[in-house]
């Protein structure tokens, strides 16, 4: 029984995402490292592709099985096979089907082999057409987003904008990267002149050595909005894994590092990752702290000139990179998260000096986590006034905040608000 290692890896990754709520961005690098180069690409494509089409594929499965209740491992096997049959034209149907049947045995579901085979053969014989109760359900199923989320976005952004957003969420993002404190002139030259043979491998090696850092453009805009003046002290309050803290720190020229830079987070594993990231990118001078920013911060009041609060959030702006987020989210999460965000923002407000600034950001598209949190904060803290974020003016909103959108800007969706303490 020979099964392609890429399909075995995809099955294991998707099973972990389904049962343990793990993230594809965490699992893929772990599995891909163990795969041979020829299998890596297919595993990547099958994992992210199947996730991006999950609701649609489930509707096809429902139709093919006449709504029969299906074991979760079998459903994952069927999703992977149908993704190949429907969306990948270079894979022969027999390869997708045979591997699905063999995976069924490997998953210790031998008795379901005939069922899997029959369902997939039926698909190759019949013309499957899905029916929808209306335009909203059609959009939700065809773009594989939960209907409640599509309905919420339609209420917030309108139907057309939601349709383009949902479609953009299923596009493969162009990998973004930036230079680091360790980028040498030779690397800059090579990147500018593009005289590189295997660009993917070259960039991966640079990233491993901390000479570049893979970071979406939207996230870079947040980091770049933190513009430290000479001698200003800086706290990145929710910093792990350190994408923005390392960007801010990388701007400090050697020999002129007078700014105190502190970065902290709640979870020990994430704090360790933050520390490794700082070291790898040549900014080991960043002071790392572990704390619970919701309850107490280990600093005296008014200790910092500038604070970045890149708050824990729903992440709906990053669905392109993390397709599974949409299936984990529940309606009630936005209200819960906004409570946490406001609490940390109020803590941060005590730590910033008069005349200093707080940069509040999220990678969420939801007003509950953005404008509404900011509105409540300003209502309760009259000694703060909003000022325009330091970003290209195309990203500024009418209310004086900044937003990026996957469908409009071809980058992850971020929100930025800046407050000055008077």
Ligand X SMILES: C[S@@+](CC[C@H](N)C(=O)[O-])C[C@H]1O[C@@H](n2cnc3c(N)ncnc32)[C@H](O)[C@@H]1O
Binding site for ligand X (CB under 6 A): 238-244, 265-267, 270, 292-294, 310, 312
Q: How far is the CB of 88 from ligand X (least distance, A)?
A: 33
Q: Which is nearer to ligand X, 72 or 287 (CB)?
A: 287
Give the nearer residue to ligand X in terms of CB position, either 312 or 406: 312
Q: How far is the CB of 311 from ligand X (least distance, A)?
A: 6
Nearer CB in complex with ligand X: 103/293: 293
Write a three-state SS string for the chain.
CCCCHHHHHHHHHHHHHHHHCCCHHHHHHHHHHHCCHHHHHHHHHHHHHHHHCHHHHHHHHHHHCCCCCCCHHHHHHHHHHHHHHHHCCCCCHHHHHHHHHHHHHHCCCHHHHHHHHHHHHHHHHCCCCCCCCCHHHHHHHHCCCCHHHHHHHHHHHCHHHHHHHHHHCCCCCCCCEEECCCCCHHHHHHHHHCCCCCHHHHHHHHHHCCCEEECCHHHHHHHHHCCCCCCCCEEECCCCCCHHHHHHHHCCCCCCCCCCEEEEECCHHHHHHHHHHHHHCCCCCCEEEECECCCECCCCCCCEEEEEEECCCCCHHHCCCCCCHHHHCCCCHHHHHHHHHHHHHHHHHHHEEEEEEEEEEECCCCHHHCHHHHHHHHHHCCCEEEECCCCCHHHECCCCCEECCHHHHCCCCCEEEEEEEC
Task: Tell me how far, at minimum, the Cβ of 321 lies from ligand X, in Å.
Answer: 13
Strand 384-387, strand 352-362: pairing: unpaired
Q: What's the min distance (Å) between Cβ of 294 and ligand X?
A: 4
Our CB check for ligand X shows the closer of 405 and 414 to be 414
For ligand X, give the closer residue by CB, 49 or 242: 242
Q: Which is nearer to ligand X, 64 or 311 (CB)?
A: 311
Rounded to the nearest angstrom, the gap between the alpha carbon of residue 141 and the centroid of all alpha carbons in its chain is 21
- The CB-of-352 to ligand X minimum distance in angstroms stands at 16
Q: What are phi and psi of 315, to 5 degrees?
A: 75, 20
Shorter beta-carbon distance to ligand X: residue 166 or 345: 345
Closest approach of Cβ 362 to ligand X, in Å? 7
Residue whose beta carbon is closest to ligand X = 238
Closest CB 312 distance from ligand X, rounded Å? 4
Q: How far is the CB of 325 from ligand X (least distance, A)?
A: 12
Cβ atoms of 76 and 14 within 8 Å: the answer is yes
Which residues on adjacent β-strands are paired with residue 340? none
Shortest approach of ligand X to residue 8 CB, angstroms? Answer: 31
Q: Which is nearer to ligand X, 238 or 319 (CB)?
A: 238
Which is closer to ligand X, CB of 5 or CB of 282?
A: 282
């Amino acid at each position: 029984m020979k099964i392609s290692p890429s399909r075995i890896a995809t099955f294991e990754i998707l099973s972990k995402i389904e049962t343990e709520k793990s993230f594809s961005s965490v699992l893929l690098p772990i599995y891909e490292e163990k795969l041979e180069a020829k299998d890596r690409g297919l595993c990547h494509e099958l994992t992210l592709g199947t996730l991006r089409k999950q609701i649609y594929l489930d509707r096809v499965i429902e139709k093919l099985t006449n709504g029969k209740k299906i074991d979760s491992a079998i459903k994952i096997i069927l999703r992977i096979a149908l993704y190949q049959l429907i969306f990948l034209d270079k894979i022969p149907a027999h390869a997708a089907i045979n591997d699905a049947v063999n995976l069924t045995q490997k998953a210790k579901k031998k008795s379901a082999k005939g069922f899997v085979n029959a369902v997939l053969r039926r698909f190759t014989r019949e013309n499957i057409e899905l029916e929808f109760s209306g335009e909203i359900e059609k959009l939700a199923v065809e773009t594989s987003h939960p209907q409640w989320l599509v309905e919420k976005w339609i209420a917030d952004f309108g139907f057309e904008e939601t349709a383009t957003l949902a479609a953009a969420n299923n596009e493969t993002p162009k990998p973004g990267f930036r230079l680091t404190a360790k980028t040498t002139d030779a690397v800059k030259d090579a990147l500018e002149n593009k005289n590189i043979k295997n660009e993917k491998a070259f960039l991966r090696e640079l990233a491993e050595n901390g000479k570049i850092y893979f970071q979406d453009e939207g996230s870079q805009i947040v980091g770049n909005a933190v513009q430290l003046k000479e001698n200003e002290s800086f706290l990145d309050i929710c910093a792990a894994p350190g994408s923005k803290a390392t960007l801010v720190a990388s701007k400090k020229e050697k020999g002129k590092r007078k700014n105190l830079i502190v970065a902290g987070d709640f979870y020990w594993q994430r704090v360790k990752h933050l520390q490794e990231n700082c070291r790898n990118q040549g900014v080991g001078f960043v002071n790392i702290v572990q704390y619970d920013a919701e309850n107490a911060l280990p600093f005296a009041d008014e200790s910092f000139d500038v604070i970045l609060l890149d708050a824990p959030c729903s992440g709906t702006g990053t669905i392109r990179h993390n397709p599974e987020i949409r299936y984990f989210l529940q309606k009630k999460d936005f209200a819960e998260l906004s409570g946490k965000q406001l609490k940390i923002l109020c803590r941060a407000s005590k730590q910033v000096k008069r005349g200093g600034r707080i940069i509040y950001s999220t990678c969420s598209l939801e007003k509950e986590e953005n404008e509404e949190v900011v509105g409540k904060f300003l209502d309760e803290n009259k000694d703060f006034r909003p000022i325009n974020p330091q970003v290209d003016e195309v990203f500024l909103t009418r209310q004086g905040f900044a937003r990026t959108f996957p469908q409009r800007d071809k980058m992850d969706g971020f929100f930025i608000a800046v407050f000055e303490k008077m």
